Amino acid sequence: MALCLHESCGIEDRVWLPESCSLKSDVSLHHWCIHCGVVKNISDDRSKKMGYWTNVLSRIAKCFSLTQSQKRLVVKELESHECFDDLYGTTGSVQKEVFVKAIRKYCGLHEIIIDSYVH
Could you state, in order of their start, the residue ranges of all structural domains in the chain? 8-44, 50-115
Q: Output the CA angle 21-22-28, nearest 5 degrees.
A: 70
- CA R_g for the chain: 17
pLDDT in tens, the chain (119 residues): 457 889 999 999 999 988 766 656 688 889 999 999 999 988 888 999 999 999 999 999 999 999 999 999 999 999 999 999 888 989 999 999 999 999 999 999 999 999 999 98
> What is the rounded CA–CA span in Å between residue 37 and residue 23?
24
pLDDT of residue 119: 80
